């Protein structure tokens, strides 16, 4: 560890501005502490730290805008020695295909020792499927160098590495000009002098955003937001084969239950229907897990936790979908509080990094505006988005009788790579069933 980088607060984020540091060098930080306020094209977000340690250095100054992944601060973990591995250890880890950051040190002050790496290497081999065991290499074997190169290690001088991390440059991406193609100081300085994102797929949009940012402040922000939303939605439509389903749900039971439940609650903590809808969606995932998770690296990875992203429109224009965590296990009152808090903070522009980066499924509710149904665009890399329309009285035939009941249209946009229409239908039906038993939510 050591490097604290500009986090990606959602798939659409390419860069962020450090608005404010809430810590200074020497401060002790703990997992979950808010250390900085970062402004993205969409909102202002409080950034949490994920490790315990001490702030060593703030690399990026307040007001500076840097691409995602740039080192913005350096931390020393509680066991400093454990984080700086010797060249010998790194070499050994590389030979054994062990990720050093995942090795628990048994040495003095938690230092990782040779034995730790060898143990991790052995465990790795035992756990590996047959045929993938690395062939043990004898010392001094001729092709070791070639193998090193094949593993993708970048040869670079210690000073070049130090400089690169100071300047927020990825050494692996720098073309080396030193002996044996190694990256040396001059290469890093050259890379630092080049504009950010050179040649990458992001370059065009970053530059475009930069151009947009040349005009006035407010117009700026909105244009950048528009651009960010646009880029993400275009990506979604380009990559995700959407399918759409819709169903009409009778919410009489839910509405009646809410009225009764709210009689016992003070005005400030009354429940509203959207809370029930979000909760029902989260619970329905248990029956149809193909709706909850991420599609990355050509495969669907279901998520055990259910973090529901709630689409919130901003008054200045644009939309964001921060997450409420573990909704499936959250009590309804807590969920209601979280929802209120989220809307207030989203609109005032102060969200937390984890809220922005990890929703596993999204709910959008345009009912308030009188919209009947919404077929949303999935937020990559998620695989499903549930939309709820306006609640309205409709003429309904039921049990051979005609009646007037409050209903809404629920829709599902789902990723065909992760699920099929049959499962999608099952999912909507489960939401419907849950909403008929609001007391269980």
Partner 1 sequence: MSAATTPTTAITYREAMREAIREALVRDERVFLMGEDVGRYGGCYAVSLGLLEEFGPERIRDTPLSESAFVGAGIGAALGGMRPIVEIMTVNFSMLALDQIVNNAAALLYMSGGQFNVPLVIRMTTGAGRQVAAQHSHSLEAWYAHVPGLRVLSPATIDDARRMLWPSVCDPDPVIIFEHGQLYNARGELTEDPVTDITSAAIRRRGEDVTIVAFGGTLGPALEASEQLAAQGIEAEVIDLRSLRPLDSETFLASVGRTHRAVVVDEGWRTGSVSAEVAARITEEAFYDLDAPVTRVCSAEVPMPYAKHLEEAALPQPDKVVAAVRQLGG
**Shortest approach of partner 1 to residue 71 CB, angstroms?**
16
CA angle 379, 342, 291 (to 5 degrees): 35
Query: What is the smallest separation between the CB atom of 109 and partner 1, expressed in angstroms?
Result: 20
Q: How far is the CB of 163 from partner 1 (least distance, A)?
A: 9
* 184 or 338: CB nearest partner 1: 184
Binding track, positions 115-154, relative to partner 1; x by CB under 8 A = ----------------------------------------
CA angle 282, 408, 254 (to 5 degrees): 60
Reading the block at residue 249, the tokens are 């749900």
Site string for partner 1, 181-210 (x = CB under 8 A): ---xxx------------------------
> Residue 354, SS3?
helix
Residue 363 C-beta: closest distance to partner 1, Å: 50
Q: How far apart are CA 81 and CA 375, in angstroms?
A: 53
CA dist 183 and 157 (Å) reads 6
Tell me whether residue 162 or residue 417 sits nearer to partner 1 (CB atom): 162
Closer of 39 and 185 to partner 1 (Cβ): 185
**Judged by CB, which is closer to partner 1: 87, or 129?**
87
Nearer to partner 1, 76 or 303 (CB): 76
Helix, coil or strand: residue 113: coil
CB of 96 to partner 1, least distance (A): 24
Contact pick of 127, 129, 130, 179 for partner 1 (by CB under 8 A): 179
Q: What are residue 323's DSSP bridge partners?
A: 309
Q: How many residues bind partner 1 (CB under 8 A)?
A: 12
Sheet holding 28-29, edge to edge: 3-5, 71-77, 53-58, 28-29
Task: List binders of partner 1 among 159-178 (CB under 8 A).
Answer: 159-162, 177-178
On whether the CB atoms of residues 253 and 437 are closer than 8 A, the answer is yes
Pick one of 40, 157, 227, 360: the residue that binds partner 1 (CB under 8 A): 157
Partners of 413 in the beta sheet? 244, 385
Question: Phi and psi (nearest 5°) for 428?
Answer: -65, -40
Task: Indicate the length of the chain as a whole number.
Answer: 441
CB of 230 to partner 1, least distance (A): 44
> Closest distance between partner 1 and the C-beta of residue 86, in Å?
10
- Rounded Cα distance between 68 and 7, Å, is 6
Q: Quote the radius of gyration of the chain (alpha carbons, Å).
A: 26
Q: Which residues bind partner 1 (CB under 8 A)?
A: 157-162, 177-179, 184-186
């Amino acid at each position: 560890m050591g490097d604290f980088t500009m986090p990606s607060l959602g798939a659409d984020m390419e860069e962020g501005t450090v608005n404010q540091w809430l810590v200074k060098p020497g401060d002790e930080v703990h997992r979950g502490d808010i250390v900085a306020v970062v402004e993205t094209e969409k909102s202002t977000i409080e950034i949490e730290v994920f490790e315990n340690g001490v702030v060593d250095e703030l690399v990026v100054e307040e007001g500076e805008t840097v691409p995602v992944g740039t080192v913005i601060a350096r931390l020393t973990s509680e066991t400093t020695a454990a984080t700086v591995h010797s060249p010998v250890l790194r070499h050994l880890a590389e030979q054994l295909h062990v990720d050093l950051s995942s090795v628990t040190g048994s040495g003095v002050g938690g230092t990782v020792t040779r034995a730790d790496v060898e143990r991790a290497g052995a465990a790795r081999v035992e756990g590996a499927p047959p045929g993938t065991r690395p062939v043990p290499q004898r010392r001094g074997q001729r092709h070791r160098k070639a193998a090193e190169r094949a593993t993708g290690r970048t040869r670079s001088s210690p000073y070049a590495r130090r400089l690169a991390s100071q300047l927020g440059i990825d050494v692996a991406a720098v073309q080396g000009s030193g002996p044996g193609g190694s990256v040396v100081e001059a290469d890093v300085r050259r890379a630092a002098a080049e504009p950010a994102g050179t040649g990458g797929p992001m370059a065009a949009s970053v530059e475009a955003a930069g151009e947009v940012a040349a005009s006035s402040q407010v117009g700026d922000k909105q244009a950048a937001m528009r651009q960010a939303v646009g880029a993400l939605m275009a990506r979604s439509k380009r990559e995700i084969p959407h399918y759409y389903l819709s169903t009409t749900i009778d919410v009489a039971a839910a509405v009646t239950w809410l009225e009764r439940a709210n009689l016992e609650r003070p005005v400030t903590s009354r429940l509203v229907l959207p809370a029930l809808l979000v909760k029902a969606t989260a619970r329905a995932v248990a029956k149809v897990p193909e709706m909850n998770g991420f599609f990355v690296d050509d495969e669907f990875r279901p998520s055990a936790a259910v973090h529901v992203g709630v689409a919130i429109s901003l008054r200045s224009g644009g939309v964001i979908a921060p997450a409420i965590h573990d909704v499936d296990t959250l009590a309804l009152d807590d969920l209601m509080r979280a929802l209120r808090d989220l809307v207030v903070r989203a609109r005032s522009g102060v969200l937390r990094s984890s809220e922005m980066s990890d929703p596993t499924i999204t709910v959008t509710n345009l009912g308030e505006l009188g919209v009947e149904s919404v077929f949303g665009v999935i937020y990559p890399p998620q695989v499903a988005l549930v939309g709820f329309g306006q609640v309205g009285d409709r003429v309904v035939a039921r049990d051979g009788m005609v009646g007037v009941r409050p209903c809404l249209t629920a829709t599902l946009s789902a990723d065909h790579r992760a699920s099929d229409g049959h499962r999608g239908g099952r999912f909507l039906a489960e939401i419907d069933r849950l909403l008929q038993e609001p007391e269980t939510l």
